Amino acid sequence: MPCSLRLMAPALLTTLLAVTAPAAHARPDAPDYQSQVVQNRAYVMRHELGVQVGVLPMDAFTKGVTVGGSYTLHFSQILAWELVQFMHSFPFDAALKDDLASFDLRPTPFETVENLLSTNLVFKPVYFKGSALNRAVISGEFMVVLGGAYAWFTRSKRPGLDYGIGFRVFASRLFSMRLDARHMMFFTDGAGSGVDVHHELWIGLGTSISL
């Protein structure tokens, strides 16, 4: 290599670094995208009329089959008020009661539910959309309910509280199916022994019409 080229090489390298370094430094960083929900609800409810059938399985001796109806006002996509739900219970004896009768034994008589009335705040935090067997697109939501209740028993009437969860699948804009599970607590004066609490578990399957 001639002497002149050897002398020019460091100068050329310095010039190249001076030109490319600012451009590399000025390269914009990758944008920091925030995670956002992009899936809108397929169906937005306002007035909901529902009918339900269910069971009251907690009593060891007498179970209940319930039939009822409800009306719910939806304020937004995540908040609603189930203004009223009324249910009537049809009692039937469990197998344990028949087993005791075969030994000429009688269970301690406990009160059973005849009618239930409740009002609940409904929170709908989760909406989903998916595929059913790769043949149809389904959408639905998960719900949490909390509210007050009143029950007519065989020998008394009791106020109470209830809370639970629900799951809904939309069939169309008008119709949907839902599954609910609720724990109910009813209170009464225990005649000097403090407050007596009666617990009930209700599991119900229903259909709703959106108006």
Which CATH code fits 47-210? 2.40.160.20
Per-block average pLDDT, block size 10, for the chain (211 residues)? Answer: 55 58 53 60 92 92 93 97 98 67 56 94 93 85 97 93 97 95 88 79 97 89
Name the residue ranges covered by the structural domains of the chain: 47-210
In this prediction, residue 21 carries a pLDDT of 54
In this prediction, residue 184 carries a pLDDT of 97
Distances, alpha carbon 209 to alpha carbons 53, 56, 58, 102, 183, in Å: 15, 25, 30, 47, 25
Residue that is written with structure tokens 């578990």 in the block: 201
pTM of the model: 0.74
In this prediction, residue 124 carries a pLDDT of 97
Contact status, residue 151 vs residue 113, Cβ threshold 8 Å:
yes
In this prediction, residue 2 carries a pLDDT of 54
Contact status, residue 75 vs residue 81, Cβ threshold 8 Å:
yes
